[in-house]
Structure 1
Amino acid sequence: MTSITPKSIVMVAGEASGDLHGSHLIHALREQLGSLFICGMGGKAMRAAGAKILIDADQVAVVGITEVIAKAAQVFKAMTQLKRLLAGLRPDLLILIDFPDFNLHLAAVAKKMGIPVLYYISPQLWAWRSGRVKKIKKRVDHMAVILPFEKPFYELHDVPCTFVGHPLMDSCTGRVPVRSAAPPNIDAPVIGLLPGSRASEVNTLLVNMLKAAQNLQARIPSARFLISCAPSIDGAIIHALLENHPLNHVDISHEPVSALFPKCDLAVVASGTVTLEAAICGTPVIVTYVVSPLSYWLGRALIKVDHIGLVNLIAQNRIVPELIQKDANPQMISDTALAMISDPEKYAAVCTNLAIVRERLGLAGASANVARIAAALMK
């Protein structure tokens, strides 16, 4: 009796978030297709899910220009290894997860070899360097996107595309019941402070958040604060900043934001995916964003969107405040927070709009939807 050779997939993720999404996708692929050989570049999560990791994503993960230069040799080595892998294995499918500059180059290599390419989690073409869509049209067979407004963008450029839903809806966050839109107790509100998942963000943003909290506590003595310490942050950093800017009724939380947000009447957050997690939980937020003057100047010149918060981008309207650069100061943060929690109508309107954003993110099942697309491409 002859054995059937299982389908083979090369999967490439270059960052921790992509590794996590890749691991969920591997489970979904095996649930739908049974026996598969999956290998490529990723991290601990993809390895634990059963992929053969030939290149560790930590070798190529970079943040900022200086790290790109420092890791150039490792990035080149990883690309060379993946090119050899594609040439030797000739997989039935190449799945690329985010990590655009690297992955779009690899997509071109696969296309020349006749290997189908599925791209999961789109580059932010809608924000900047939209001309890359021409490369995607030539190199990618199907885009699986996680933000609802990305599908019309690709359809406009005749790129096969499916909105698969947001993977957050498959996580603990997606299972959190939406909180009540009832206004908080103005005499004892609970306010979350989420300064980010990188030490540079925490050092930049938390000082102003703590000063704003002091302003609020001077006006509302019973106000309580929950400071989120991400797994990637040394708690000593937060403790040191808190010693220099002390508060009453304050706790440092190491729990996931899906557990933190439901406890908060309002949260002051660093811009990023965390704003979507707040929307899913139904917790009003104030989005803050501070970078170096040079980065901000370059961003203003290159980025072509009206909002920085993903919540506002999906709503296509500024439904939560954004305090950027000099506006992310203690007085503005505290004044904005007080205005939100002390106006029941405004507070209820924000909650209603966040519920709409949650609905637009789609239902749970992003990984399963991507797996179905993958199966179709391998037929």
Structure 2
Amino acid sequence: MKYYIIAGEASGDLHASNLMKSILRKDPEAEFRFWGGDLMTSVAGTEPVKHYRDLAFMGFLEVAKNLRTILKNIKICKNDIELYQPDVLILVDYPGFNLRIAEFAKTLGIKVVYYISPQLWAWKEGRVEKIKNYVDEMLVILPFEKEFYRKHQVDAHFVGHPLLDAISDLPAIDVQKFKEEHHLNGKEIIALLPGSREQEVTKMLELMLSVRPFFKDYQFVIAGAPSLPKEFYQKYVDDNVHFVSNKTYDLLRCSKAALVTSGTATLETALLNIPEVVCYRSSRISYEIGKRVVKNIKYISLVNLIMDREIVTELIQQQLNTDNLVRELKLLIEGHGRQKMLDEFELLRQKLGGRGASDQAADIIVKG
């Protein structure tokens, strides 16, 4: 069969590439045409129609400034799908773009599969109508999403979380070798995951690094974002603060604990079995707007949302200060909180369905 896949972000490239591998095992004659990144390229053996680097516009102002480019990309995509005539269109998250393409594909009679749901349960719930009208198969990766869609008369399939597959496939790591390769000292590591956008990273690192005087027996290592140059991080680096780029999973696996800015990284850290404190602070205006836009959400971390209770501490806005960070980090390193959190992480993995999300998704897609 011919598969057309659209992934507009780095995480989508990872999960779509694993899905493609599973599809090939079930359909060895599969042909792929795609929008994505290097990981999808390595599976397909062909270049993407567009790389996700050319699609990643985040925030209202950036989208507004690049609206002409976005509309041009949508037109290119529609024309390309019409020429390729795939048997199935697979959309991976990236809702602003993908829902428009879903609507177009339905006019051509092409089967539409959505893999990894947009977070409609948090905001823009009205988009469920588009899912209902234009998507033939909805494949969700969070257990509560199935019930959310059922409430809206959409029969979604829970296939498990693809991060479990990605993490389970990691080779064993030699901690000492990792430290030597990245010129780290012999102390145990506290990993810092401050986000990916410059303004966010600056704000979060200043707060995270404020705990240093209380943890002199540890070294702090910043997980660099691929979107920011190495030079940006140099002002934070010294004898006991280091920087590692594009090795976040390896860094976490070599760490005692982590301070993590809210997002997918909170779930990745938990699935790698590293105790964490979740950190979030934005401007007061942005936070107040966000509270009104995001509906019925009790937590900001995926870990707590999935478990429907607080198993990782969330320090939000004014709660995110040095005293609270020090207290919570000490509990994870020295106190009873460490083992308790690790036990909860095991329950989290069970709730996410174990391994096999890519295979379960591929089964549904290939069998039609």
- TM-score by structure 2 length? 0.88
Unmatched runs of 5 consecutive residues or more in structure 1? 1-6, 178-187
Q: Judge conservation of contact 1:141–1:160 (CA < 8 Å) in 2.
A: no
Counterpart residue number, 2:304: 312
Q: Identify the residue that residue 48 of structure 1 maps to in structure 2.
A: 42
Residue 355 (structure 1) aligns with: 346
Selected match of 2:12 from 18, 24, 47: 18
The answer to whether the aligner puts 1:238 opposite 2:230 as a matched pair is: no
1:104 aligns with 2:104: no
Distance 1:237 1:113, change over 3 A: same
Where 1:265 maps in the other structure, the secondary structure is strand
Distance (Å, rounded) in 1 between the aligned partners of 2:255 and 2:34? 41
Q: Aligned pair 1:370/2:361, yes or no?
A: yes
Query: Following TM superposition, where does structure 1 have runs of at least 4 consecutive aligned residues deviating by more than 6 angstroms?
Result: none
Tell whether the 8 Å contact from 1:173 to 1:281 is kept in structure 2 after alignment: no
| Alpha-carbon contact 1:199-1:233 (below 8 Å) kept | yes
Is 1:205 matched up with 2:200?
no
Aligned residue in 2 for 1:323: 315
Deviation at 1:250, TM superposition (A): 4.2
Higher mean displacement: 153-162 or 46-55: 46-55
Distance 1:114 1:189, change over 3 A: same
Q: Which residue of 1 aligns with 2:143?
A: 148
Query: Which position in structure 2 is the counterpart of 1:192?
Result: 191
Secondary structure in 1 matching 2:49: strand
> Aligned residue for 2:178?
none
Q: Residue 176 of structure 1 contacts residue 281 of structure 1 at CA under 8 Å; is this kept in 2?
A: no
Matches within 5 A, 1:33-182: 33-50=27-44, 51=46, 53-172=48-167
Match of 2:182 in 1: none
Mapped partners of 1:198, 1:212: distance in 2: 22
Counterpart residue number, 2:176 = none
Offset at residue 52 of structure 1 (A):
5.4
Q: How far has the Cα of 1:332 moved from its partner?
A: 2.1
The 3-state SS of whatever aligns with 1:331 is helix
For structure 2, list consecutive stretches of 5 or more residues without a partner in the other structure.
173-186
Distance 2:164 2:308 in 1: 20
| Matching residue of 1:299 | 290
CA distance in 1, matches of 2:12, 2:334: 40
1:176/1:258 contact within 8 Å kept: no
Q: Secondary structure at the match of 2:2?
A: strand
CA contact 1:174–1:364 (8 Å) conserved in 2: no
Rg larger for:
1
- In the TM superposition, what is the alpha-carbon distance from 1:321 to its structure 2 partner? 0.8
TM-superposed deviation, 1:356? 0.9
User: Partners in 1 of 2:233 and 2:168 — Cα distance?
Assistant: 24
Q: CA deviation at 1:189?
A: 6.6
Instruction: Give 1:376 deviation, angstroms.
Output: 2.2
1:261–1:42 CA distance, 2 compared to 1 (3 A): closer
Distance 1:41 1:258, change over 3 A: closer
1:333 to 306, 310, 325: 325
Secondary structure, counterpart of 1:200 in structure 2: helix
Q: Distance in 1 between matches of 2:259 and 2:155?
A: 38
8 Å CA contact retained: 1:118, 1:144: yes
Provide the TM-score with structure 1 as the length reference: 0.85
Q: How many residues align?
A: 352
Question: Which digits, 9 at most, give the CA deviation of each residue in 1:273-297, with x for residues without a partner?
Answer: 1111221122211000122333212
Please give the secondary structure, in 2, of the residue aligned with 1:54.
coil
Following superposition, the deviation at residue 255 of structure 1 comes to 6.5
Structure 1 residues 223-302: aligned runs within 5 Å: 223-242=218-237, 249-254=240-245, 256-302=247-293
Q: 1:176 to 1:90 in 2, by over 3 A?
A: closer
Post-superposition offset of 1:165: 1.7
